[in-house]
Chain A
Amino acid sequence: MQSPWIYVGIFVLVGMLIPIAAIVIARFLAPRKPNAIKQSTYECGIETVGDSWIQFKAQYYIFALVFLIFDVETVFLFPWAVSLNKLPLFAVFEGIIFILILLAGLIYAWKKDMLEWV
C-alpha cells in the first residue's frame, strides 16, 4: 500500500486539477464577446497569408535524430552509474568504451556537417 507511485499518481491528478481550476474560474469571471477581428490570427497587424501550419526546416529533424541516439543510450548508462562502486574495475572501462562509441556517433554527425545550421 505504501507504494510511492500511488503518491506520484495523486500528484499528477492534483497537478492537473489546479491549472484546470484556474482556467475554469477565469471562464466564469472573464467577459466573452468574440468577434471576427478579435479572433483572427495575430501577425503584427498584417493579414495572414496561406496556411499557418507551414513546412519547417529539416534541420530540426536531424537534431532530433542525434538527440535520440544519446537519449536512448543514456538510459543504459544510469544502471551502470548507480552500481559503479560495487562493480569490478573492468566494468568502468567497459562503460568508458560505451561512452566513446556514443561520442563516435556524435563525431560522425559532426564530420558529416549535420550539426551545421544551414
Chain B
Amino acid sequence: MEFWNDPITTIFNSLLKSFTSGGMSEGLATVLIYLIGILLFVTFAMVLDIFLVWIERKVVARFQDRLGPNRLGPFGIFQPFADIVKLLIKEDITPVGADVIMFNLAPIFSMMSVLLLWAIMPFAPKMVGVDLNVAMLYLVAAGSIGTLSVIMAGWASNNKYATMGAFRTVAQMVSYEIPMVAAILVITVLSGTMGVVGIVEAQEFLPFIFYAPLTAIIFLISAIAELGRSPFDLNEAESEIVAGFHTEYTGMKFGLFYAGELLHSFTFGGFIALLFFGGHRFFGLENLGPIVGALIFIGKALFFYWVIMWVKYTVPRIRIDHMLAFNWKFLTPLAFILLMVTALVGRLLLDSVWLVPALFLSNVFVGWMTVLYLKSHERKTREAEDAKSAVPVAQH
C-alpha cells in the first residue's frame, strides 16, 4: 500500500538502505540512485518518442485520407523501429567546409533541450523528477537551448539555405518567447508560485482554463511557434529553403532533430495540461494513486499533442512578415494586457467567491474589445485602400 501511494520515495528509500548497508556513503548512494532513476526515466521518454512517431504518422495519414503505416505488426506499430534501423545504417555525410564540432553538437543540444524539460514534468505530485521552486523560469531557459541548437546547426552547415532557415527560426522563437513568458506570468500570478507541484495544487478547485481562457489560447499559439510546427514552420519551408537548418543533416543526426521535435510537442502538450487543465486531475480519479494520476497526465498530454497535430495539418504556413507582425502587434500587447487585468482582478477579489466569474468575464471582455478593435482597424485599412484606388478611376 505504501508503494501504491508513493512509489518513487519507497523505491528510493529501499535502494538507499541497501546501498548504504554495503558501506557506501549516503551522498554517493543518492547520486547513484538519481543516475539510475534518470537513466530509466530518459529511456522511458525515448521509448515514448518512438510511439509518438507512429502516432504522428498514423494521425497525419487519417487527416489526409490515407491508411498510414499498416504492414509491420498490428496497425503498423513496429514501423518506427524499422525507421530507427534505417536511420542508424544510413551514411553520415558532413558537408565540405562545415564546422565539424558545431555540426555534431547541434543535434545533441536539440535533443538535450527537450529531455531537460522532462526533469520538471509533474506526472503526479509525488511522481515529479524534481520540484524546482523556479520551474517556470527553468522551462523558458531549457527551451532556449533548442534555439541555440538551431542557430548552431544552421551556421555550421556551410549552406545558404540552412543559414537562412536558422535566422528565420531564431527570429520566430525569440519573438514568441515573449507572449509565452507573459502567459506563464499570468499562471504565476494566479497560483502564487513558480513550482510545478504548487501550480497543480492551486488548481484543486478549478483548472486555470476557467481563470484565464484567453491566456491558454495565447500559450497554445506561442507553444506551436516555439516548436516550429505548421503554421509557423517557415524555418523548414520546403518550397523556399529546402529543409531549413537541417538541410545538410543525414542519418541519425537528422533522426535526433526529428525525434526531438516530436518529443518537444508532447512535452508542451504536457505543459498545457499542467498549466491550464489541472495536471493529473480528472474528476477525482487521481485519488486512486499517483500511478493512475500519471496515466491521466500522459493521456492529457497526448490529447494536446493531438491538438497541436490537428492545427499543423489544418492550417497553411504563414508568411514571415505576417508571423512577426502577429506576434509583436497582436499577441504581445494582448498577453501583457491580460497580465495586468489578471493581476488587478485577482488581487482585488482575493479569497472571494466572485474571483473565478470575475476573471472569466474580464477575459471575455478583453477578448470582445480585441475583436471590436480588430474589426474597426480592418474597416479603416480597407476604406483607406478603397480611397487610394478610387482616385485614378475617377480621373479617366
Binding site for B on A (CB under 8 A): 1-2, 4, 6-8, 10-12, 14-16, 18-20, 22-23, 25-27, 29-34, 36, 38-44, 48, 52-54, 56-57, 60, 63-64, 66-67, 70-71, 74-75, 77-78, 81-85, 89, 92, 95-96, 99-100, 102-103, 106, 110, 115-117
Contacts and interface: CB of A to CB of B under 8 A. Distances in A.
Contact of A67 (B27, B108, B174, B255): B174
B328 A106 contact: yes
Interface stretch (B61-69, B87-95, B271-279): B87-95
Given A14-B35, A67-B177, A54 B163 contact: yes
B387 to A, nearest CB: 22
For the residues of A in contact with B, the DSSP-based class is helix
A117 B253 CA distance: 33
Nearest to A107: B333
B95 A39 contact: yes
B182 to A, nearest CB: 7
A19 to B, nearest CB: 4
A39 B94 CA distance: 6
Contacts of A36: 96
Contacts of B350: 85
Given A10-B31, A39-B96, A42-B247, A23 B347 contact: no
A6 B31 contact: yes
A42 B69 CA distance: 30
A27 to B, nearest CB: 7
Contact of B174 (A1, A20, A31, A63): A63
Interface stretch (B187-195, B209-217, B229-237, B358-366): B187-195
A30 B92 contact: yes
Contacts of B188: 78, 81-82
B48 interface: no
A67 B242 CA distance: 28
B171 A63 contact: yes
Given A22-B255, A41-B97, A63-B171, A30 B182 contact: no
A33 to B, nearest CB: 7
8 contacts: A11-B130, A22-B255, A25-B88, A42-B247, A52-B160, A53-B158, A53-B163, A63-B324
Interface residues of B, number: 86
A4 B328 contact: no
Interface in B142-167: 155, 157-161, 163-164, 167
B369 interface: no
Which 7 residue pairs across A and B have the least CB separation, nearest first? A117-B321, A26-B252, A15-B115, A81-B188, A19-B111, A15-B112, A4-B130
B185 A23 contact: no
B167 A26 contact: no
B231 to A, nearest CB: 17
Given A12-B116, A41-B97, A53 B347 contact: no
Contacts, number: 217
A34 to B, nearest CB: 7
B248 interface: yes
A43 B178 contact: no
Given A39-B94, A117-B320, 15 more contacts: A6-B30, A7-B38, A8-B119, A11-B129, A18-B42, A19-B110, A23-B104, A57-B167, A60-B170, A64-B171, A67-B175, A81-B188, A81-B189, A96-B343, A117-B324
Contacts of A85: 192, 346-347, 350
A42 B246 CA distance: 11
Contact of B92 (A32, A60, A75, A77): A32
Contacts of B83: none
A106 to B, nearest CB: 7
B388 interface: no
B130 A7 contact: yes
Contact of A15 (B116, B130, B181): B116
B256 interface: yes
Contacts of A34: 93-94
Nearest to A28: B88
Contacts of B15: none
Contacts of A4: 130-132
B82 interface: no
Given A14-B38, A42-B247, A77-B185, A115 B97 contact: no
B39 interface: yes
A99 B26 CA distance: 48
> Of A25, A77, A116, which is in contact with the most chain B CB atoms at under 10 Å from its CB?
A77
Given A22-B252, A56-B167, A60-B170, A89 B111 contact: no
Contact of B107 (A15, A23, A43, A100): A23
A80 B160 CA distance: 44
